[in-house]
Amino acid sequence: MLHNIDKILEEAGRFKADTKEELEQFRIHYLGKKGILSELFRSFKDVPADQKREVGQKINELKQFISTKIEQLLADISEDGGDDDARDLTLPGPPVQAGARHPISIVRNEIISIFGRLGYTISEGPEIEDDWHVFSSLNFPPEHPARDMQDTFFIEKDPDILLRTHTSSVQVRVMENESLPIRTISPGRVFRNEAISARAHCIFHQVEGLYIDENVSFADLKQTLLYFAREMFGKHVEIRLRPSFFPFTEPSAEMDISCQICGGKGCNVCKYTGWLEILGCGMVDPNVLEFNEIDSKKYTGFAFGMGVERVAMLKYQVKDLRLYFENDIRFLEQFKAAY
């Protein structure tokens, strides 16, 4: 019997009515003289004594549920049914919930704005790229192990087509299409065949920078990046460049900023080094200029590339990358005041 009542409850719960007539049918079906509830009350006398209490409670619950449901449905129908006199049109509408910008957008916009103040334009390129723009023109030789640095999503049918693993590909597109001097940043999504964890994701965002002109030097690169770091993280930030390797820059470096949590003294955020890695950079390799028909005797340039999530992690101290992709409103809401 209990099981039976549960089934009736479930069925009644699913009922919807568009008209008062339908609702009346529903009422008669359950609460009418020959309705389901009368029948249940009638068979109540056959319930064994030790179950009477429980079954009785259950039947009453069902009756209560159906009565409330009828009242609610009736209210809904009356509202839709154009009982206009009951509405006060002068009442203010329900408040609209204001959205918030995503932290990755906030950080990307800030990077764009900082470089905008230095005269950098914005350029974009396709996310589905070819080998030439992602690797070959950036001086990755065909069998060079540097290609292994980036786990790539290839298209099965055509290994020449792939999802770009870095926004450095946009450098090449700009060199192909624009005249010198070039001073541009390229924000965008990139893709790598990585298992998703707190520290890695298969989709993330980068901002690439490129400056090519006569007499561009490493000192210009350093000063530009110092300006960026101080605008982004605060005016007391120090930077340090460590030698590194990228096929498309020579010399290449990785840049660290002084840890803002401990002021460089050492803490668990900077793993007691006082420094946090933030981007890769270097002087554009003459080969890359020549591949793109730029005279490397006359022109020099620098390039840099940073991960937007990485900058956001350092800025907001949120170290699980997955949070930036889950779109949990409880996480996103916390950035409402951030822009």
Question: Residue numbers of the site for ligand DAH (CB under 6 A)?
Answer: 166, 168, 208, 246, 249, 280-282, 303-305
Least distance between ligand DAH and beta carbon 177 (Å): 18
Of residues 218 and 227, the one with the C-beta less far from ligand DAH: 218
**What distances in angstroms separate CA 2 from CA 55, 57, 59, 94, one per listed residue?**
6, 10, 9, 42
Least distance between ligand DAH and beta carbon 283 (Å): 8
Phi/psi at 292 (5° precision): -105, 20
Least distance between ligand DAH and beta carbon 156 (Å): 24
Least distance between ligand DAH and beta carbon 308 (Å): 12
Strands 121-122 and 182-191: parallel
Least distance between ligand DAH and beta carbon 106 (Å): 22
With CB atoms as reference, the residue minimizing the distance to ligand DAH is: 305
Q: CB-based burial of residue 142 (10 Å sphere; 0-12 exposed, 13-18 middle, 19+ buried)? A: exposed
Of residues 17 and 225, the one with the C-beta less far from ligand DAH: 225
Phi/psi at 26 (5° precision): -60, -45
Tokens 């460590």 -> residue = 242
Of residues 69 and 206, the one with the C-beta less far from ligand DAH: 206
Least distance between ligand DAH and beta carbon 116 (Å): 19
Of residues 163 and 281, the one with the C-beta less far from ligand DAH: 281
- With a CB cutoff of 8 Å and minimum separation 6, the contacts of 246 are 146, 252, 280, 282
Of residues 168 and 300, the one with the C-beta less far from ligand DAH: 168
Least distance between ligand DAH and beta carbon 174 (Å): 12
Of residues 25 and 136, the one with the C-beta less far from ligand DAH: 136
Of residues 55 and 252, the one with the C-beta less far from ligand DAH: 252
